[in-house]
Amino acid sequence: MQLSSLRHFKVSQWQAVVLFAAILIGLNLLLAWTGTGYTLTLAKLILINVFLAVSLTAANGFTGLFSLGHPAFMTLGAYSAVMFTYPVGRRGFAMPALPEFLAKVELPLWAAALVAAGFAGVVAFLVGLVVLRLKTHYLAVASLGLIIVVQNLALNFDGLTRGGRGLTGIPREASLPLISVILFLVVVMFWKIKHASLGRAMLAVRENEMAARSYGIRAYRLKLLGFVLGAGVAGIAGALVPHVIAVMTPGSFGLILAFNLVAIIVVGGQGSIIGAILVALGLGTATEFLRPLEEATGLYGAIQVVVALMLIVMLVLRPKGLFGLEEPMVRIKD
Amino acid sequence: MLSINNLNVFRGKTHVLQDVSFEVREGEIFSLVGSNGAGKTTLLMALSGIISIKSGTAVLGSGPDAVDIVNSRPETMVRAGLVHCPEGRQVFARMTVEENLRLGAYLDNNPARIAAHMEQAFEMFPVLRERRATAAGGMSGGEQMMLALARALMARPKILLLDEPSLGLAPRITEQIFETLDDINRKQGVTIVLVEQNAMMALELASRGCVLVNGRLDKVSDAADLLRDPQIVASYLGVGQ
Amino acid sequence: MQQMLNALTLGSLYALVAIGFSLIFGVIRLVNFAHGDLMMIGAFSTLGLLQVAGPLWALIPVLVLGIGFLTGSLIEKVVFRSVRNAPMITGFVVTLSLSVVIQNLGQMFLGAQPRSLRLPEFFSSRVEFAGLSMPAIDIVIPVTTIVLAIAVTRFVYRSRVGAAMRAVSENIVAAQLMGISINRVVMVAFGLGSALACLAGFFWGGKFGQIDPIMGLAPGLKAFIATIIGGVGSIPGAILGGYILGFAEVMFVGFLPPEYASFRDTFVFGTLIVILLIRPQGIFGIDEEERA
């Protein structure tokens, strides 16, 4: 099947932006009208997953890195945000180690999310300085290690995080409109980056780092930039999730999530934003549909197995993913 | 001995060899001349089974024992008596001279015969005997070439494909190598297909040859004729003097 | 002193798994993320075999080695062979996916709850050595590991197939031109490495008494770290790395105040980062850029 033969819709930038916004607004209206608690939560989580996937596309796909560390940044973002949105009255009880001046501050979610992004971004910068010099599989293992280390730290600094008991009763402030707006901004931001000279430089690094360097492209800086941006957005995603499900534990974002994200990126094509969106949507909805099956048969983990098997098959048949670097079906006129 | 017809070979999407046809007769030295990028190395790699052949036929030998190169793996080609000594020598740098030689005889399971062949290799190239326990990577270019040759001969090939043996070697050493090649061909009857930058020396050594231009075979004839051909003199014989 | 023994045992287990990593990486430059899961396969095979072996329990380790060899070869042929020439990331993701499949299938069919594994009396019988009393298994593990390590090293450095493996590791095209069958060499590397990992599972289950479907993940990662410390692609390096890591881990937990014990994994990974920065090729490592 030649995917490049799918019809390409030529749209102008404005048309695309409006279309995208319209879809999101439509979704919001639909769910406001007919949505149940369940579908609303589902939509929120799926949308978060979507921009999470897009952020991984930017962090990994653009420059050709392979980092599994996204969940670690989510965890960092989550705890740093919850620290500011947790009801002040209960903070002393749940987070006894929180210093006075912080314990009094209460922020709305969008502000807390920015804090989360900043925190995750800074950590990513520091970590990136160290690990981005490593070669592919070393980086993969080191980033895996990051997940474990962050989980470890979250578990141990229980004065701030309540350790393994986790934090409950987190205010469900994450509204669908808020998430939609964030999704919109994230996608537009990364799309613009990708199609600007910055993005082209990053893709050049991915295709052939040595050649790119010889053109004067500062490969290392670009990798770091992609990494930090991706981590920042992951931090936002991490900040939002606990405000949807009201719970946060150190193990909330772990290896399974890392794997699924990688699966989405690989299947969607490592550089394709639309690919990531489509696959993330597909995976999210399919998983929900199949969940009753899992519960009926008692075969927990079956969905995961199917995802993993599909990934293997995909990689064997189409090593570049479904869409590779291209953006399928939509070409935006410059 | 080698019969090649309308060979087409691709590397990725590039059509490197186009409808190449020629013959190599048993016992002769056949020289392949051409500029860089013409496809000489690709041709040798296709013949030794490393690169796959898109279309055409290539047959080693004749009659019932003939080997179809197109569908053969590298192991099969070595077993059939075709050994390719690749560009750049490609000795196993981290292994000793002796280990390299042993690997040349990988498909041989007779230890006595391997030992005998190794003795003969040391006779032919005494410097290898001196260096038998040294890591191959520590030797000079000329020594490595001798090792590569000796290693190729350990399999007692019927036909030897040589890719740029003189590359990077001083003229004196190159002469020695070429003398050895002549020796191997005359005394042991090994057919040789020689790809060489140093077209002059190659065509002087060879009995027949051909010219490869951008993946196509241009001329096939006796080496003596090629040496006199004004076009060839102009294009290739200024090189390597 | 007990600490030393624990370090020795743990180090041996890491070494056994690390050898496999190095063998596989050396031959096909693949970081096999699913390697640790072979330990789990070995452990559960042991569980199964114990129920039928009865008095012939001495055969179990041998059978486990065999199971490991076959499973490894099978996995290579069915899953990894097709991505052998793909970029490294593809291979890595495939091994990652395989690991997810194995672990989840394990959880689905073997149950997520840990099971207990008890080796026959022999292994827990007390032995007197150097004035100490210890369970026999504490001696069996290091001794078996050292013996196997020596055997594998001799195989790789002195045998014909071993030479072929080293040739493939160094220069795959030149190796092919010698008539070496890459498929066979890779299969042997996989089989051998997997056999050792499975045996490590046998020992791990015997030593720690508890096994579960995801038991391979953490030791697998740590064994990979051990491989890196010792130098990826080097057998002696893997062995040394395994022991270094085992000792480091036990010493860390043993000598620091108990509050820090749970930082053990952080410590291990921190060490990894440091090593990767200072000397990424490890102690004996080959520089992979060199491979032709």
Three-state SS string over B81-120 comes to CEEEECCCCCCCCCCEHHHHHHHHCCCCCCHHHHHHHHHH
Pick the last residue of a domain from B137, B156, B175: B156
Nearest to A327 by CA among A1, A2, A8: A8
Lowest mean pLDDT among A46-50, A257-261, A317-321: A317-321
Q: What are the tens digits of pLDDT across the range A321-330? A: 555 555 655 5
In the A/C pair of chains, how many CB contacts fall below 8 A? 110
Q: What are the tens digits of pLDDT across the range B114-166? A: 999 999 999 989 989 988 888 888 898 889 999 999 999 998 999 999 999 98
Q: Which of A164-168, B31-35, C182-186 has the highest mean pLDDT?
A: C182-186
Pick the last residue of a domain from B89, B123, B156: B156
First and final C-alpha spacing in chain C = 48
Same domain, B72 and B167: yes
Same domain, B162 and B73: yes
Closest CB to A259 among C100, C265, C266 = C100
In a domain, C160, yes or no: yes
Same domain, B127 and B102: yes
In a domain, B88, yes or no: no
In a domain, C117, yes or no: no
Same domain, B172 and B149: no
In a domain, C25, yes or no: yes
Same domain, B175 and B63: yes
Query: Is pLDDT of A315 > 90?
Result: no
**A in contact with B (at least 3 C-beta pairs within 8 A):** no
Q: Does B92 contact C171 at a Cβ distance shorter than 8 Å?
A: yes
Q: Which chains touch C (3 or more CB pairs under 8 A)?
A: A, B
Q: What are the tens digits of pLDDT across the range B73-82? A: 899 999 999 9
8-state DSSP, B135:
B
Rounded Cα distance, B93 and B144, in Å: 9
Query: Is pLDDT of A34 > 90?
Result: no
In a domain, C112, yes or no: no
Closest CB to C90 among A140, A145, A319 = A319
Q: What is the mean pLDDT of residues A274-301?
A: 81
Nearest to B107 by CA among C158, C180, C185, C161: C180
- A75 pLDDT tier (thresholds 50, 70, 90): very high
Instruction: Output the average pLDDT for chain A.
Output: 80
pLDDT at residue A324, rounded to an integer: 57
Same domain, B59 and B168: yes
Q: Minimal Cα distance from C182: which residue of B? A: B75
Residues of A in contact with C216 (CB under 8 A): none
Nearest to C39 by CA among C18, C62, C59, C58: C18
Q: What is the mean pLDDT of residues C11-31?
A: 90
Q: Does A156 contact C108 at a Cβ distance shorter than 8 Å?
A: no
More confident position, A201 or C178: C178
Query: Is pLDDT of B240 > 50?
Result: no
Q: Does B75 contact C160 at a Cβ distance shorter than 8 Å?
A: no
User: Domain residues for C86?
Assistant: 2-102+125-290
Q: What are the tens digits of pLDDT across the range C78-102? A: 888 888 877 777 788 888 899 989 9
Sign of the alpha-carbon dihedral angle for B100, B104, B110, B116: negative
Query: Is pLDDT of B241 > 50?
Result: no
Same domain, B76 and B174: yes
pLDDT at residue B72, rounded to an integer: 87
Residues of C in contact with B94 (CB under 8 A): 166, 170, 286
Q: What are the tens digits of pLDDT across the range A181-199? A: 888 888 888 888 888 888 8
Report the DSSP beta bridge partners of residue C128.
C133
In a domain, C120, yes or no: no
Q: Does C160 contact B102 at a Cβ distance shorter than 8 Å?
A: yes
Number of domains into which chain B is organized: 2
Closest CB to C262 among A156, A255, A311 = A156
Q: Does C96 contact A135 at a Cβ distance shorter than 8 Å?
A: no
Query: Is pLDDT of A302 > 90?
Result: no
Rounded Cα distance, A15 and A332, in Å: 9
Q: Does C179 contact B90 at a Cβ distance shorter than 8 Å?
A: no
Q: Does B86 contact C173 at a Cβ distance shorter than 8 Å?
A: yes
In a domain, C18, yes or no: yes
First and final C-alpha spacing in chain B = 32
What's the longest Cα–Cα distance across chain B? 52
Q: What is the mean pLDDT of residues B212-233?
A: 81
Q: Does A148 contact C276 at a Cβ distance shorter than 8 Å?
A: no
Q: Where are the alpha helices (DSSP H) in C76-180?
A: 88-110, 121-124, 137-158, 160-170, 172-177
Q: Which chains touch B (3 or more CB pairs under 8 A)?
A: C
Q: Minimal Cα distance from A146: which residue of C? A: C269
Q: What are the tens digits of pLDDT across the range B163-191? A: 999 888 888 888 888 999 998 898 888 99
pLDDT at residue B37, rounded to an integer: 78
Report the DSSP beta bridge partners of residue B85.
B162
Q: What is the mean pLDDT of residues A302-315?
A: 84
Rounded Cα distance, B19 and C156, in Å: 44
Residues of C in contact with A271 (CB under 8 A): none
Same domain, B34 and B62: yes
Number of domains into which chain C is organized: 1
Query: Is pLDDT of A128 > 60?
Result: yes
Residues of C in contact with A260 (CB under 8 A): none
Q: How far is CA C80 from the centre of its chain?
A: 18
Residues of C in contact with A137 (CB under 8 A): 31, 88-89, 92
Q: What are the tens digits of pLDDT across the range C140-183? A: 899 999 999 999 999 999 999 999 999 998 899 999 999 999 99
Pick the last residue of a domain from B156, B177, B204: B156
Q: What is the mean pLDDT of residues A236-253?
A: 87
Q: Does B49 contact C174 at a Cβ distance shorter than 8 Å?
A: no
Residues of A in contact with C253 (CB under 8 A): none
- A167 pLDDT tier (thresholds 50, 70, 90): confident
In a domain, B25, yes or no: yes
The structure tokens 């909330």 sit at A252
In a domain, B111, yes or no: yes
In a domain, B73, yes or no: yes
Same domain, B228 and B168: yes
Dihedral, CA atoms, A231, A235, A241, A246, nearest 10 degrees? 150
- C121 pLDDT tier (thresholds 50, 70, 90): confident
8-state DSSP, A209:
H
Centre a 10 Å sphere on the Cβ of residue A280 and count the other Cβ atoms it contains.
27
Q: Pairing relation of β-strands C115-116 and C210-211? A: antiparallel
User: Domain residues for B57?
Assistant: 2-81+158-236
Dihedral, CA atoms, C130, C136, C137, C139, nearest 10 degrees? 30
Instruction: Output the average pLDDT for chain C.
Output: 85
* CATH code of the domain covering residue C174: 1.10.3470
pLDDT at residue C196, rounded to an integer: 94
Q: What are the tens digits of pLDDT across the range A20-31? A: 888 888 888 877
In a domain, B89, yes or no: no
* CATH code of the domain covering residue B61: 3.40.50.300
Same domain, B113 and B215: no
Dihedral, CA atoms, A10, A15, A18, A20, nearest 10 degrees? 10
Rounded Cα distance, A155 and A94, in Å: 14
How far is B190 from chain C, CA to nearest CA, in Å?
17
Lowest mean pLDDT among A90-94, B83-87, C163-167, C168-172: A90-94
| Strands of B159-163's sheet in order across | B82-85, B159-163, B191-195, B29-33, B208-213, B216-222
Nearest to C236 by CA among C182, C268, C282, C196: C282
CA–CA distances in Å: residue B36 to residues A286, A287, B236: 54, 55, 11
In a domain, C108, yes or no: no
**Strand stretches in chain C, DSSP E:** 115-116, 126-129, 132-135, 210-211
Judge contact between C17 and C196, C-beta under 8 A. Answer: yes
**A in contact with C (at least 3 C-beta pairs within 8 A):** yes
